[in-house]
Amino acid sequence: MSGNMNLTLKVWRQKNAKESGRFETYAAKGVSPDMSFLEMLDVVNEDLTKAAKDPIAFDHDCREGICGSCSMYINGRAHGPVKGVTACQLHMRSFADGETIIIEPWRAAAFPVIRDLIVDRQAFDKIQQAGGFVSVNTGSTPDANSIPVSKVNADEAFNSAACIGCGACVAACKNSSAMLFLSAKVSQYALLPQGRVEAKKRVMDMLKVHDDAGFGACTNTEACEAECPKGISVTNIARLNREYAAAMLVGE
């Protein structure tokens, strides 16, 4: 191995959704500070595999902070100690030699554990299926520049759309609310003329699926914003509330 850090890992192991889980302790030796957190886990997993033991299962794919697959709680924080990065972009130079690191899956009723650090986030897809779109068929669209959008709104919509759907907001919330995720999607469309047409129906439909999926209510603690790796702002939740109030008052 290529480094000189030695760490102790306490990792949540759970065979499947039905069996109960427990923490197991592993030694991670010879870790390089240049490794990403997931590369450090790769090393531990290679050792486990060679000993014909089950490696630690975790979701990961792009390893550059954009696909939103990685979903682990590191030392009591979603995606670990560094603000604004996902676990795959967290590097071991953010930890001290000799440290003990606790690694858990997202904990939320709406995100049941599938195995070890992997959780089921299909509830996010279901929220989007309820209204996270503009109802436009392929081909029936006017020239792109026929719909001007103010730069301020376009930039704001982009900031909301930057959500990667990882679920850190839910994991960080004491109520396991997905309000930051949901409000970011609602805001993106509410800020654009293309999305305004269906705005009322959208917010009502998406909120219903959110609540039915078992996500909790928002009580304005703002832990979601603090832990979001993409810096999605809680002002999205304020906009969601305005959209919801307008939909309730005016209706369709």
Partner 1 sequence: MKLDSKIPSGPLSEKWDNHKFKCKLVNPSNKRKYDVIIVGTGLAGASAAASLAELGYNVKTFCFQDSPRRAHSIAAQGGINAAKNYRNDGDSVYRLFYDTVKGGDYRAREANVHRLAQVSVNIIDQCVAQGVPFAREYGGLLDNRSFGGAQVSRTFYAKGQTGQQLLLGAYSAMNRMIGEGKIQSYTRHEMLEVVMVDGQARGIIARDLVTGEIERHSAHAVVLATGGYGNVFYLTTYARGSNATAIWRAHKKGAYFGNPCFTQIHPTCIPVSGDHQSKLTLMSESLRNDGRIWVPKQKGDTRKPVDIPESERDYYLERRYPSFGNLVPRDIASRAAKDICDNGYGVGNTGLAVYLDFSDVIKRTGEKAVEAKYGNLFDMYKQITGENPYKTPMMIYPAVHYTMGGLWVDYNLMTTIPGLYACGEANFSDHGANRLGASALMQGLADGYFVLPYTIGDYLSDVERTPIANDSPEFMDAEQKVKDRLQKLLNIKGKKTVHEFHRELGLLMWNHCGMGRTAEGLNAGIENIKKLRTDFWENLLVPGIEQELNQNLEKAGRVADFLELGELMMVDALNRNESCGGHFREEYQTPENEALRDDEGYAYVAAWEYKGDNQPHELHKEDLVFESVKLTQRSYK
The smaller minimum CB distance to partner 1, of residues 197 and 217, is found at 197
Q: How far apart are CA 89 and CA 251, in angstroms?
A: 44
- Neighbouring CB atoms inside 10 A of 165's CB total 18
**What pairs with residue 140 in β-bridges?**
none
Compute the least distance from the CB of residue 85 to partner 1, in Å.
6
Compute the least distance from the CB of residue 252 to partner 1, in Å.
18
Q: Specify the 3-state DSSP secondary structure of 173.
A: coil
Burial level of 140, CB count in 10 A (0-12/13-18/19+)?
exposed
Compute the least distance from the CB of residue 233 to partner 1, in Å.
15
Q: How far apart are CA 59 and CA 75, in angstroms?
A: 18
Longest C-alpha distance within the chain, in Å?
64
> Is residue 109 a contact partner of residue 213, using CB atoms and an 8 Å limit?
no
The smaller minimum CB distance to partner 1, of residues 1 and 217, is found at 1
Distances 199 to 57, 138, 143, 153, 160 between C-alpha atoms, Å: 40, 20, 22, 16, 15
Compute the least distance from the CB of residue 221 to partner 1, in Å.
26
Compute the least distance from the CB of residue 214 to partner 1, in Å.
17
* DSSP H/E element including 40: helix 37-50
Sign of CA dihedral 234, 239, 243, 246: positive
Q: How far apart are CA 43 and CA 123, in angstroms?
A: 32
The smaller minimum CB distance to partner 1, of residues 6 and 219, is found at 6
The smaller minimum CB distance to partner 1, of residues 67 and 226, is found at 67
Compute the least distance from the CB of residue 47 to partner 1, in Å.
10
The smaller minimum CB distance to partner 1, of residues 100 and 129, is found at 129
The smaller minimum CB distance to partner 1, of residues 27 and 134, is found at 134
